[in-house]
Homo-oligomer: A and B are copies of this chain.
Amino acid sequence: MGLLVVGSLALDTIETPFGRADMVAGGSAVYISAAASYFAAPIRLVGVVGSDFPKSELEYLESRGVDLAGLQTIEGGKTFHWSGRYHYDLNERDSLRTDLNVFETFSPVIPPGYRKSRYVILGNIDPILQRRVIESMDQKPELIVCDTMNFWIQGKHDELMKTLKLVDVIIVNDSEARLLSSEPNLIKAAKLIMKLGPRIVIIKKGEHGALLFTGDTIFAAPAFPLEFIYDPTGAGDAFAGGFVGHLARTEDLSDENIKRAVVYGSAMASFSVTKFGIKGLKDLSDIEIMGRYRDFIELSRVAD
Which of A58-66, A113-121, A217-225 contacts the other chain? A217-225
**Nearest residue, chain B, Cβ from A304:** B297
Known interface pairs A88-B184, A185-B227; A302-B220 also in contact (CB < 8 Å): no
Question: CA–CA, A303 to B262, complex, Å?
Answer: 13
Chain B residue at minimum C-beta to C-beta distance from A254: B303
Among residues of B, the one whose C-beta sits closest to the C-beta of A259 is B302
List the one stretch of A48-56, A76-84, A206-214, A235-243 in contact with chain B.
A206-214
A231 to chain B, nearest CB (A): 14
Q: A89-B184, A90-B184, A302-B259 are in contact. Are A222 and B222 (CB under 8 A)?
A: yes
The residues of B that contact A207 with a CB separation of less than 8 Å are 186
User: Out of B209, B221, B225, which one reaches A187, CB within 8 Å?
Assistant: B225
Residue A263 CB within 8 A of the other chain: yes
Tell me, in angstroms, the Cα distance from A90 to B223 when the chains sit together: 22
- The yes or no answer to A256 lying at the interface (CB within 8 A) is yes
Chain B min CB distance to A276 (Å): 17
What is the chain B residue whose CB lies nearest that of A89? Answer: B184
Complex contact B184–A211 (CB within 8 A): no
Q: Would you call A299 an interface residue if the criterion is a C-beta within 8 Å of the partner chain's C-beta atoms? A: yes
- A263 and B260 CA atoms in complex are apart in Å by 22
Asked if A300 and B300 make an inter-chain contact with CB atoms under 8 angstroms apart, the answer reads: yes
Cα of A187 to Cα of B207 in the assembled complex, Å: 11
Jot down 10 A-B pairs with beta carbons below 8 A, ordered by A: A89-B185, A90-B184, A185-B229, A186-B225, A208-B208, A211-B225, A219-B299, A297-B302, A300-B300, A301-B301
